[in-house]
Amino acid sequence: MSESAANLSDILARIDAARKKAVAPAPSTTLIAVTKTHDADAIRPVLDAGHRVFGENRVQEAMGKWPGLRAAYRDIELHLIGPLQSNKTREAVETFDAIHSLDRPKLAHALKAELEKQPKPMTMFIQVNTGEEPQKAGVAPHEAAAFVALCRDELHLPVKGLMCIPPNNENPAPHFALLQKLARENTLPLLSMGMSGDFESAIKFGATHVRVGSAIFGERSVDAG
Ligand SMILES: *Cc1c(COP(=O)(O)O)cnc(C)c1O
């Protein structure tokens, strides 16, 4: 077995164990295997092991490797977990099945227009800047309700959940708890939270999607942000 396939099976077992230990886990927790910076050859062993849900943080990079992999493997589900420019919505809707980085009205309107041009089933998450870090994407927690109302109720975008990236070097638990609270208040069923270092904690707070990269594919040589 390749190292990444072995890591995959280890992470799936840890997800299972964390769900069993959790008092109130989500009905299911999907592992998004994050493949940014890794090429098709590095991804294939994980596909061969049967995994089908993947995440990329850049539209352009995903366009380079996933059409070929989609042609070779059925039922791939690809999630955009990084920032999206409103002039890249056509490519994003073409390339991805889910978008986790919806975070501003201009982007919401652009996605609405694009989905009218090329209708397809998609899942969207609103990114919340739970740490209110100035350099980080996402709506502030106090703006979340109004932005959910705009995206879901006014524009009828397929918004099903919230996503967060807690500040580095901080206990992520309060951020996961806050995201869970905001999702409940806004009756959103999905929670995208938890990465290689903290997915077990996120599962405690009801994560439905964990985004794990380096624990499966190894450390990235370039920091892809
Ligand atoms: C890279 C990335 C991840 C995965 O991070 P790891 O620490 O490698 O597991 C998760 N979420 C986002 C938004 C990312 O950009």
Calpha distance 74→47 (Å, rounded): 10
Q: Span 65-89, mean pLDDT?
A: 98
pLDDT digits (tens, 9 = 90+) for 179-210: 999 999 999 999 999 999 999 999 999 999 99
**Mean pLDDT, to the nearest integer, of 93-109?**
98
Rounded to the nearest whole angstrom, what is the distance from the C-alpha of residue 213 to the centroid of ligand 1?
6
Q: What is the pLDDT of residue 153?
A: 97
Instruction: Give, for ligand 1, the residue of 195, 219, 220 to mutate: max count of ligand atoms closer than 8 Å to Cβ.
Output: 195
Read off the pLDDT of each residue in 65-93 and give the average, rounded to a whole number. Answer: 98
Ligand 1 atom at minimal distance to the Cα of residue 217: 8
Judge contact between 159 and 188, C-beta under 8 A.
yes
Is the shortest distance between the CB of 212 and ligand 1 below 6 Å?
A: yes
> Is residue 98 very low, low, confident or very high in pLDDT (cuts 50, 70, 90)?
very high
Cα–Cα dist 142/7, whole Å: 38
pLDDT at 225 over 60: no
By CB neighbour count within 10 A (0-12 exposed, 13-18 middle, 19+ buried), where does 223 fall? exposed
Q: Is 96:79 a contact under the CB 8 Å cutoff?
A: yes
Query: Using a 6 Å cutoff on CB, does residue 33 contact ligand 1?
Result: no
Q: Check pocket membership of 83 for ligand 1, CB cut-off 6 A.
A: no
The pLDDT of residue 224 is: 52
- Mean pLDDT on 157-180: 98
Q: Per-residue pLDDT for 1 more than 90?
A: no
CB atoms within 10 A of CB 40: 14
Beta bridge partners of residue 209, listed in sequence order: 30, 192
Query: Does residue 216 have its Cβ closer than 6 Å to ligand 1?
Result: no
pLDDT digits (tens, 9 = 90+) for 7-54: 999 999 999 999 999 999 999 999 999 999 999 999 999 999 999 999
Residue 66 pLDDT > 90: yes
Q: Which amino acid is at 218?
A: G
Whose tokens are 């992999």? That residue is 69
Beta carbons within 10 angstroms of residue 1's beta carbon: 11
Exposure string over 173-189, b if 16+ CB within 10 A, otherwise e:
eebbebbbebbeebebe
**36 C-alpha to ligand 1 centroid (Å):** 8
**Nearest residue CA, atom 7 of ligand 1?**
196
Ligand 1 pocket check for 34: Cβ under 6 Å: yes
